């Protein structure tokens, strides 16, 4: 698939040298996007009660973490060991692996801004997109979303809770984009030329070290424009040609090296 | 016929309507909550779930709170929120909230509760004590005034770095006010045991300072490569019990470079360091290479505005303060805000009592603290009254449980969280109405004794006017900042005490234990929150099993490997854990996360992992007499 | 008791014995049904699948049975279009096996997708660029074709066929069977291919990604070839298994050997291209994205032994066995080769499904090992039980094997 280019290209530049892996972004994301806490019991389903519990949050392969944090290591033994944290939202690829494979057009990259959408009411839950995404940015609703008693009253209006059986992922808090455009229209400014900071994601907002920068990668007035062009910037798996709209930056070479494959071990004993 | 019927049915709308309906049903199951729309607002207030408290804005829709965001205008937040407070609304709405006053497990009315407490209070005489988990609130003034009215000074804070700092600065060194650190303005920041970017002090403000500090160099010294160490330029492995000696080792180079302070005991201090804490001696005692100390000292000496941020024992704090005074950099001394309640204690007085040495009272008030979880053995009381908004080990063990409103439902404040470089006051007004039968602890206490106020709101109003702040600006979420420096001329370097206190003392177990706190795992007083468990890494928890980390060399020595089940025994108890290898841990050290192993609470924290507080050893630091967990060791047995 | 229903001139076991046999099958079926109910009622969380392994045992099972069911379309193609007369002796069985495989696969798919109520969206909101859309189209259409091919066989049931209308209908359908065979061959080729294409297009999955011809990656063609290289011998295996079970000769060995020859030839072509493809992938594509061949494998679960087993033991070896007349014409060796062949293609489908997504593309990520749980096994076994059920009923009541009477009851005369 060809790279889809848009006039506006929303993107992130995440400064790994600033990220402490505290997890605030992951929690902010769940709250913004109405992701239910992982509860073991399903009080509405007696068959569930008779069989095994739903998943434990420590099973990292069953969580719903649109924003996920990976721990990086330089692989050296003590005392030369170094560590870093890499937050991983959806990369909103320019040439997404997931979009062309979806049989029902439940995910698309067709809107100005270049955000890869996910249409929950259309998703049939085949999980082909998950198999396609090398970043593991896509998550499946293995169970029904259930909030512990009383907790469902405080829900965000950003997005409806998804039923079980559909795939979901980060969409750069798309409703915030709509809100920002609406606000611009009301104020008589150009919704297609939002100033830096008029639209940011929940994770960007909440990050205590401001490691996440968000903006239009094509707009020189946005900070990400310059940051994404810095010599310390890199993207994940650039060699595969997916053209992610999420950049990372680090002054540490070993961190940058973890962003892609470099025929590790020099081909080893091949 | 069948074919005909099929074709016929296909021409009717039945099938198509049914298919359409199916696609609608599949997204509208009755058990999936519907959204309620309305006006979106963000209301400024404070959140007290983390130790220092966060300045936040609570996001509401149609008046119902749903989320927490940072408060860009407030220096405590700068726009960020810690992972605990980020989940504040979810805790507010949690089924784990206490719904009404409970007397030994039975629901009672507030009148009844008040009657009982009044009776106990009258009977207890001066044998009344308070344990507060709040480090920054004016509520402590109310509690301490209550104690004063009964002739008691038994006010206890939960063990914290602010207490060690107070004991060192206001106690040993004779300083006044409160110590703070300018991490934003400093060009070299030595975090000597302070996990400042993860759990120490005003974490969010520290992180913001770190982010804003262009070109500043951060160095972390500690036994384990914490999350803070993942972003600092350097990690210097230093055992927790050796932190004071390490700091004095750096003082050696600084003194050698000719630095001095006009303190009365400077000469004594210099002599003590130059003879007792030479790099060679410190290396012998702590294992930290002299070169490493020389390198750190060089960086501090060449910096324009260096600052050393201590963590750990009282001795380690005093050593760091002495080093800061020698360097003359970014350590600040903050004035204490004027009191609202005249008979209340000052902050230094509140920090004086050492809870680790034990509490014994006829009547004990516990406010938003969880001593039953952290200090199971130390606290004894004839009758315990626990104020909290959620069920904890302490409320489960208390005789009387009094539910208080959640942070977002009450009036509260944050007066100079420890570590901030400036005296900063932030107020929080209720964002939403309390939905449960709760009462502000301040209101309850003011109803017990005549302290000159009718309600806690009045106390806050008095506080605001006493410090000279503008109430309207505070309500909007702005902080009131007092830019004064108290007189520090009489400060000494505590040379006589420090010489003995800094000498490392370690237990006799097989390996040292490096306990650490992650805010998404929880703190001493606050367990993990509903959305946080999926953010907790498998380096802390796998299934229901606690995970401890050690490096490959240590594991080999102990004969364990990744995934080994082990029993750690130390202090007065044992923990079960799984082993994870992490090369960011010093040789002979096992890093264990605090905050898990709750026996009361919701499904997100109860039964998850094990309680590492059980295996910590309380020891009394030489000369200072202060209790510390530094130097705790454990024995590790494979099971 | 039900002997009047038996095909003309055949003998079958007693009804009691038959019912016991059916009960055993239903036992397995019910176990799988319970698993299926759990999946549909509680959610797919009941399985061993997870966010790293969104595809697993079910998809492997689907792909394997669809490949093995390829005997139907390919034999149909050869018989009706290329007019290889001898194949009519086994054509009915290939149709039934094909029908079982495809309808079974569709049943599994309804469990596998999270929102079975929305399965029809594949038609309503199709994404023409998706290989899976092609699969959905072809698989449903071809399943219909297989039903149409299966119906005349049902209509030829001795008692049913006495009804003049049905007799005429069956006859007419037979006449037009070439059309359906052609249609089936077209549909089936495409979806066998698009199943392969599904993996080949995964640009983010270096283990599976392949260059190709026009819109089709090489895996498209490899999957077609491997299917026709194994489907025919799977039918032979089914026929032989039924012979062992019933104690009767159902298909003459000459036909079986012919099927073996057909599959063997195709398997040779397949292996040639498969080896070429693997070589080009390992030495061309992988280095171009900074990876090495060795990095594609991990431990025992995803070790190289899988690939070697697939290509050598279950690929080259049966290919040689099947194209060598002296080996092919000895029953035991033919069956061995057929078995290896079928194992090889199933293994290929497993590797492409699971190892593709097990490989951690991000350098800081790690390999996870996927284990299906009992729910996935049970529901797959349900489909196997369903196959046994259809075959048992077909064998007992339908004239599946045209040679049966000749081979069993007239040989002595």
Mean pLDDT across the stretch B387-392? 97
pLDDT, one tens digit per residue, over B252-298 is 999 999 999 999 999 999 999 999 999 999 999 999 999 999 999 99
Neighbours of C406 (CB within 10 A): 14
- Our CA-based measurement puts residue A154 at a distance from the nearest CA of chain B, in whole angstroms, of 4
- Our CA-based measurement puts residue A153 at a distance from the nearest CA of chain B, in whole angstroms, of 8
Neighbouring chains to B with at least 3 Cβ pairs closer than 8 Å: A, C
pLDDT of residue A269: 38
Q: Are C400 and C93 in contact (CB under 8 A)?
A: yes
Q: Cβ B207–A22 below 8 Å, yes or no?
A: yes
| B2 part of contact set with chain C, CB < 8 Å | no
Q: Are B633 and B512 in contact (CB under 8 A)?
A: yes
Ranges in chain B annotated CATH 2.40.40.20:
507-638
> Got the DSSP string for chain A?
-PPP--SSBEEEEEETTT----SHHHHHHHHHTTPPP--S--TT-HHHHHS-----TT-TTS---SSEEEEEE--PPTTS--EEEEEE-----SS-SSTTT-TT--S---STB-PPP--TTT-----HHHHH-TT--EEE--S-----TTGGGS--SSSPPPPTT-EEE--SSHHHHHHHHHHHHHTTS-TTSPPTTSS--HHHHH-TT--EEEEETT-TTSHHHHHTTSTTEE-TTGGGT---SEEEE-S-HHHHHTTS---GGGGTT-
- Our CA-based measurement puts residue B166 at a distance from the nearest CA of chain A, in whole angstroms, of 27
pLDDT of residue C412: 45
Measured in residues, chain C has a length of: 413
In the predicted model, is pLDDT for residue B251 greater than 90?
yes
Q: Encode B151-183 in three state secondary structure.
A: CCCCEEECCCHHHHHHHHHHHHCCCCCEEEECC
pLDDT of residue B1: 56
- Our CA-based measurement puts residue A81 at a distance from the nearest CA of chain B, in whole angstroms, of 6
Helix, strand or coil for residue B97? strand
Residue of B nearest to A69 (CA): B535
Q: Residue B62 has what DSSP assignment? A: T
Q: Cβ A57–B534 below 8 Å, yes or no?
A: yes
Nearest CA to B162 out of B215, B200, B105, B132 is that of: B200
Handedness of CA B13, B15, B16, B17 (dihedral sign): positive
Mean pLDDT across the stretch B538-542? 96
Q: Give the phi and the psi of residue B217 in degrees, each rounded to 5.
A: -105, 125
Q: Encode chain C in three state secondary structure.
A: CCHHHCCCCCCCCCHHHHHHHHHHHHHHHHHHHHHHHHHHHHCHHHCCCCCCCCCCHHHHHHHHHHHHCHHHHHHHHHHHHCCCHHHHHCHHHHHHHHHHHHHHHHHHHHHHCCCHHHCCHHHHCCCCCCHHHHHHHHHHHHHHHHHHHHHHHHHCCCCHHHCHHHHHHHHHHHHCHHHHHHHHHHHHHHHHHHHHHHHHCCCCCCCCCCCEECCEEHHHHHHHHHHHCCHHHHHHHHHHHHHHHHCCCCCCHHHHHHHHHHHHHHHHHHHHHHHHHHHHHHHHHHHHCCCCCHHHCECCCECHHHHHHHHHHHHHHHHHHHHCHHHHCCHHHHHHHHHHHHHHHHHHHHHHHHHHHHCCCCCCCCCCCCCCCHHHHHHHHHHHHHHHHHHHHHHHHCCCCCCHHHHHCCCCC
Class of domain B182-334: alpha beta
Residues of B in contact with A35 (CB under 8 A): 531
- Our CA-based measurement puts residue B12 at a distance from the nearest CA of chain A, in whole angstroms, of 25
Helix, strand or coil for residue B524? coil
pLDDT of residue C10: 84
Q: Cβ B228–A20 below 8 Å, yes or no?
A: yes
**Residues 336-365 (C) with a CB less than 8 A from some CB of A:** 356-357, 361-365
Residues of C in contact with A239 (CB under 8 A): 288-290
In the predicted model, is pLDDT for residue A266 greater than 50?
no
Mean pLDDT across the stretch B314-337? 95
| B19 part of contact set with chain C, CB < 8 Å | yes
Residues of A in contact with B69 (CB under 8 A): 28, 202, 205-206
Helix, strand or coil for residue B56? strand
pLDDT, one tens digit per residue, over A28-65 is 999 999 999 999 988 888 887 778 889 999 999 999 99
Q: Please state which of the ranges A97-111, A224-238, B394-408, C207-221 shows the lowest mean pLDDT.
A: C207-221
Going by pLDDT thresholds of 50, 70 and 90, the confidence category of residue B64 is very high
- Our CA-based measurement puts residue B4 at a distance from the nearest CA of chain A, in whole angstroms, of 31
Packing angle, helices C331-350 and C231-246, rounded to 10: 130
pLDDT, one tens digit per residue, over B79-94 is 999 999 999 999 999 9
Residues of A in contact with B551 (CB under 8 A): 77-78, 81
Class of domain A10-262: alpha beta
End-to-end CA distance of chain C: 28
- What CATH architecture applies to the domain B40-92? Single Sheet (2.20)
Q: Rounded to an integer, what is the distance from CA B145 to the centroid of its chain?
A: 24
How far apart are the C-alpha atoms of B201 and B207, rounded to whole Å?
Answer: 10
Q: Residue A185 contacts by C-beta under 8 Å, 6 or more apart in sequence? A: A191
pLDDT of residue A214: 98
Q: Cβ A157–B65 below 8 Å, yes or no?
A: no
In the predicted model, is pLDDT for residue A1 greater than 60?
no
How far apart are the C-alpha atoms of C173 and C155, rounded to whole Å?
Answer: 10
- Our CA-based measurement puts residue B612 at a distance from the nearest CA of chain A, in whole angstroms, of 19
How far apart are the C-alpha atoms of C319 and C332, rounded to whole Å?
Answer: 15
Q: Cβ C362–A51 below 8 Å, yes or no?
A: no
pLDDT, one tens digit per residue, over B614-634 is 999 999 999 999 999 999 999
ipTM attached to this prediction: 0.94
Ranges in chain B annotated CATH 3.40.228.10:
182-334
Q: Could you state, in chain order, the average pLDDT of each consecutive group of 10 residues for chain C (413 residues)?
A: 82 91 97 95 94 96 91 83 84 91 93 92 90 89 89 86 86 81 84 92 95 88 94 93 91 92 95 96 94 95 96 96 95 96 96 96 95 95 96 92 82 45
| B118 part of contact set with chain C, CB < 8 Å | no
How far apart are the C-alpha atoms of C261 and B291, rounded to whole Å?
Answer: 78
Of B68, B518, B530, the CB nearest to A151: B530
Of B70, B90, B208, the CB nearest to A206: B70
Q: Give the phi and the psi of residue A74 in degrees, each rounded to 5.
A: -80, 0
> Got the DSSP string for B350-401?
HTTB-GGG-EEEEEEEEES--HHHH-TTTEEEEEEEEEESB--HHHHH-SEE
Of C129, C357, C364, the CB nearest to A86: C364
Burial of residue A73 (number of CB atoms within 10 Å: 0-12, 13-18, 19+): middle
Q: How many cross-chain Cβ pairs, A to C, lie less than 8 Å apart?
A: 203
Residues of C in contact with A66 (CB under 8 A): none
| Interface residue of C112, C203, C219 to substitute, partner A, most A CBs within 10 Å | C203
| B25 part of contact set with chain C, CB < 8 Å | yes
Identify the structural domains of chain C with CATH numbers, from first to last: 3-403 (1.20.1630.10)
Looking at the domain B507-638, which fold is it? Barwin-like endoglucanases (2.40.40)
Give the β-pairing of B54-61 and B64-70.
antiparallel
Q: Cβ B35–A77 below 8 Å, yes or no?
A: no
Domain definitions of chain A by residue range: 10-262
Tokens (6 digits) for B407:
């942070």
Residues of C in contact with B26 (CB under 8 A): 115, 117-118
pLDDT, one tens digit per residue, over B154-200 is 999 999 999 999 999 999 999 999 999 999 999 999 999 999 999 99
Of B81, B198, B604, the CB nearest to A20: B198
Q: Are B309 and B181 in contact (CB under 8 A)?
A: yes
Q: Cβ C130–A100 below 8 Å, yes or no?
A: yes
| B534 part of contact set with chain C, CB < 8 Å | no
- Our CA-based measurement puts residue B95 at a distance from the nearest CA of chain A, in whole angstroms, of 6
Q: What angle do CA B550, B556, B558 make, to 5 degrees?
A: 75
Residue of C nearest to B20 (CA): C118
Of A133, A140, A263, the CB nearest to C204: A133
Helix, strand or coil for residue B598? strand
Q: Cβ C121–B23 below 8 Å, yes or no?
A: yes
pLDDT of residue B4: 67
Q: Give the phi and the psi of residue C276 in degrees, each rounded to 5.
A: -60, -45
Mean pLDDT across the stretch B201-215? 95
Nearest CA to A135 out of C357, C7, B234, B403 is that of: C357
Going by pLDDT thresholds of 50, 70 and 90, the confidence category of residue B2 is low
Residues of B in contact with A153 (CB under 8 A): 36, 64, 93
- Our CA-based measurement puts residue B27 at a distance from the nearest CA of chain C, in whole angstroms, of 10
Neighbouring chains to A with at least 3 Cβ pairs closer than 8 Å: B, C
How far apart are the C-alpha atoms of B147 and B142, rounded to whole Å?
Answer: 9
| Interface residue of A42, A54, A56, A103 to substitute, partner C, most C CBs within 10 Å | A103
In the predicted model, is pLDDT for residue B559 greater than 50?
yes
How far apart are the C-alpha atoms of B163 and B626, rounded to whole Å?
Answer: 10
How far apart are the C-alpha atoms of C99 and C188, rounded to whole Å?
Answer: 12
Q: Please state which of the ranges A212-216, A259-263, C363-367 shows the lowest mean pLDDT.
A: A259-263
| Interface residue of C41, C113, C118, C365 to substitute, partner B, most B CBs within 10 Å | C118
- Our CA-based measurement puts residue C286 at a distance from the nearest CA of chain A, in whole angstroms, of 9
Packing angle, helices C177-200 and C218-228, rounded to 10: 130
**Residues 388-447 (B) with a CB less than 8 A from some CB of C:** none
- Our CA-based measurement puts residue A62 at a distance from the nearest CA of chain C, in whole angstroms, of 6
**Residues 88-147 (C) with a CB less than 8 A from some CB of A:** 112-115, 118-119, 121-122, 124-127, 129-133, 135-136
């Amino acid at each position: 698939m060809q790279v889809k280019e848009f006039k506006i290209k929303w993107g992130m530049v995440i400064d790994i040298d600033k990220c402490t892996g505290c997890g605030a972004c992951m929690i902010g994301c769940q709250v913004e996007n109405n992701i239910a806490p992982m509860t073991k019991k399903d009080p509405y389903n007696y068959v569930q009660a008779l069989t095994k519990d739903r998943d434990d949050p420590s099973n990292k392969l069953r969580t719903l973490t649109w924003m996920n944090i990976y721990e990086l290591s330089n692989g050296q033994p003590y005392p030369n060991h170094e560590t870093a944290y890499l937050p991983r939202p959806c990369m909103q690829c320019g040439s997404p692996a997931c979009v062309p494979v979806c049989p029902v057009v439940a995910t698309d990259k067709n809107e100005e801004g270049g955000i890869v959408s996910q249409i929950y009411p259309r998703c049939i839950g085949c999980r082909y997109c998950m198999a396609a995404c090398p970043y593991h940015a896509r998550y499946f609703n293995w169970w029904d979303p259930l909030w512990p008693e009383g907790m469902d009253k405080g829900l965000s209006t950003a997005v409806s809770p998804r039923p079980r059986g559909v795939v979901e992922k980060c969409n750069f808090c798309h409703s915030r984009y709509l809100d920002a455009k609406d606000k611009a229209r009301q104020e008589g400014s150009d919704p297609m030329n939002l100033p830096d900071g008029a639209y940011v994601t929940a994770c960007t907002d909440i990050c205590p070290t401001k490691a996440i920068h968000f903006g239009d990668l094509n707009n020189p007035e946005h900070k990400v424009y310059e940051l994404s062009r810095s010599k310390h910037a890199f993207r994940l798996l650039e060699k595969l040609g997916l053209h992610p709209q999420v950049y990372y930056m680090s002054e540490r070479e070993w961190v940058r090296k973890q962003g892609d494959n470099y025929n590790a071990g020099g081909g080893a004993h091949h | 016929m069948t074919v005909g019927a099929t074709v016929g049915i296909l021409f009717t709308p039945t099938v198509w309507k049914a298919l359409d309906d199916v696609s609608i049903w599949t997204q509208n199951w009755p058990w999936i909550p519907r959204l309620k729309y309305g006006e979106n607002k963000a209301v400024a207030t404070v959140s007290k779930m983390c130790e220092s408290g966060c300045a936040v804005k609570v996001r509401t829709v149609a008046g119902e709170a749903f989320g927490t965001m940072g408060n860009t205008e407030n220096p405590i937040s700068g726009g960020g929120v810690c992972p605990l407070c980020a989940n504040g609304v979810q805790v507010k709405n949690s089924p784990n909230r206490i719904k009404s006053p409970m007397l030994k497990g039975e629901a009672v009315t507030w009148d009844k509760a008040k009657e009982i407490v009044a009776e106990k209070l009258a009977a207890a005489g001066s044998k009344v004590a308070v344990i507060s988990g709040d480090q920054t609130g004016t509520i402590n003034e109310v509690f301490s005034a209550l104690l004063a009215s009964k002739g008691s000074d038994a006010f206890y804070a939960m063990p914290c770095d602010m207490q060690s700092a107070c004991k060192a600065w206001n106690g040993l060194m004779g300083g006044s006010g409160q110590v703070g650190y300018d991490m934003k303005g400093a060009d070299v920041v030595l975090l000597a045991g302070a996990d400042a970017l993860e759990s120490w002090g005003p974490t969010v403000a520290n992180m913001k300072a770190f982010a804003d500090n262009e070109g500043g160099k951060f160095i972390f010294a500690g036994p384990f490569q914490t999350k803070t160490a993942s972003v600092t330029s350097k990690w210097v492995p230093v055992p927790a019990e050796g932190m004071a000696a390490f700091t004095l080792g750096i003082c050696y180079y600084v003194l050698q470079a000719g630095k001095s302070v006009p303190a009365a005991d400077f000469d004594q201090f210099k002599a003590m360091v130059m003879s007792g804490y030479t790099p060679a001696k410190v290396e012998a005692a702590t294992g930290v290479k002299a070169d490493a100390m020389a390198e750190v000292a060089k960086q501090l000496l060449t910096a324009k505005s260096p600052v050393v941020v201590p963590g750990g024992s009282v001795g380690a704090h005093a050593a760091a303060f002495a080093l800061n005074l020698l360097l003359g950099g970014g350590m600040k001394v903050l004035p204490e805000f004027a009191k609202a309640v005249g008979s209340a204690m000052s902050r230094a007085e509140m920090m004086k009592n050492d809870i680790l040495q034990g509490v014994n009272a006829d009547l004990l008030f516990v406010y938003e603290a969880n001593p039953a979880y952290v200090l199971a053995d130390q606290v004894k009381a004839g009758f315990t009254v626990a104020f909290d908004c959620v069920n904890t080990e302490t409320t489960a063990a208390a005789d009387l449980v009094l539910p208080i409103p959640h942070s977002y439902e009450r009036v509260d404040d944050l007066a100079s969280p420890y570590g901030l470089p400036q005296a900063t006051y932030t107020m929080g007004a209720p964002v939403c109405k309390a939905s449960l039968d709760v009462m502000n602890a301040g209101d309850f206490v003011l109803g017990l004794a005549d302290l000159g106020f009718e309600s806690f709101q009045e106390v806050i109003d008095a506080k605001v006017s006493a410090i000279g702040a503008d109430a309207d600006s505070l309500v909007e979420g702005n902080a009131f900042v007092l830019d004064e420096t108290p007189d520090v001329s009489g400060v000494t370097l505590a040379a006589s005490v420090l010489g003995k206190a800094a000498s490392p003392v370690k237990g006799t177990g097989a390996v040292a234990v490096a306990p650490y706190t992650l805010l998404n795992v929880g703190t001493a007083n606050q367990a993990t929150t509903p959305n946080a468990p999926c953010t907790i890494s498998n380096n802390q928890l796998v299934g229901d099993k606690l995970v401890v980390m050690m490096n490959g060399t240590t594991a080999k020595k102990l004969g364990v490997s990744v995934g080994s089940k082990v029993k750690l025994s130390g202090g007065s108890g044992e923990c079960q854990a799984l082993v994870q290898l992490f090369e960011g841990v010093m040789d002979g050290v096992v890093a264990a996360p605090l905050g898990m192993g709750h026996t009361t609470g919701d499904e997100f924290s109860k039964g998850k992992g094990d309680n590492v507080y059980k295996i910590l050893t309380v020891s009394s630091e030489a000369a200072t007499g202060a209790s510390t967990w530094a130097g705790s060791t454990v024995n590790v047995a494979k099971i | 008791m039900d002997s009047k229903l038996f095909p003309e001139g055949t003998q079958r076991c007693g009804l009691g014995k038959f019912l016991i046999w059916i009960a055993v099958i239903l036992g397995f079926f019910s176990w799988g049904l319970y698993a299926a109910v759990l999946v549909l009622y509680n959610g797919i969380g009941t399985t061993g699948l997870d966010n790293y392994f969104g595809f697993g045992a079910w998809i492997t099972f689907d792909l394997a049975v669809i490949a093995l069911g390829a005997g139907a379309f390919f034999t149909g193609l050869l018989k009706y279009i290329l007019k290889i007369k001898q194949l009519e002796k086994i054509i009915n069985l290939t149709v039934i096996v094909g029908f079982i495989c495809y309808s079974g696969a569709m049943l599994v798919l309804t469990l596998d997708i999270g929102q079975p109520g929305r399965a029809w969206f594949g038609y309503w909101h199709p994404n023409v660029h998706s290989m899976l859309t092609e699969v959905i189209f072809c698989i449903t259409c071809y399943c219909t074709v297989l039903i149409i091919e299966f119906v005349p066989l049902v209509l030829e049931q001795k008692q049913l066929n006495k009804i003049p209308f049905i007799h005429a209908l069956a006859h007419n359908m037979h006449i037009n069977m070439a059309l359906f065979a052609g249609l089936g061959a077209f549909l089936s080729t495409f979806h066998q291919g698009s199943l392969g294409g599904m993996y080949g297009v995964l640009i983010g999955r270096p283990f599976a990604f392949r260059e190709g011809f026009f819109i089709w990656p090489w895996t498209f063609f490899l999957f077609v070839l491997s299917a026709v290289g194994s489907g025919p011998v799977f039918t032979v295996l089914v026929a032989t298994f039924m012979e062992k079970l019933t104690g009767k000769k159902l298909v003459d060995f000459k036909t079986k050997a012919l099927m073996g020859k057909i599959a063997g030839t195709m398997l040779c072509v397949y292996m040639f291209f498969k080896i070429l493809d693997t070589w080009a992938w390992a030495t061309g594509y992988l280095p171009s994205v900074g990876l090495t061949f060795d990095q594609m494998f991990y431990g025992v679960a995803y070790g190289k032994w899988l690939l070697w087993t697939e290509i050598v033991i279950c690929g080259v070896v049966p290919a040689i066995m099947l194209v060598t007349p002296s080996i092919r014409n000895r029953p035991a060796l033919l069956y061995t080769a057929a078995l290896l062949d079928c194992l090889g293609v199933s293994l290929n489908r497993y590797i492409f499904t699971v190892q593709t997504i097990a490989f951690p593309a991000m350098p800081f990520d790690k390999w996870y090992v996927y284990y299906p749980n009992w729910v996935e096994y049970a529901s797959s076994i349900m489909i196997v039980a369903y196959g046994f059920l259809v075959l048992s009923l077909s064998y007992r009541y339908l004239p599946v094997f045209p040679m049966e009477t000749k081979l069993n009851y007239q040989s002595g005369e």
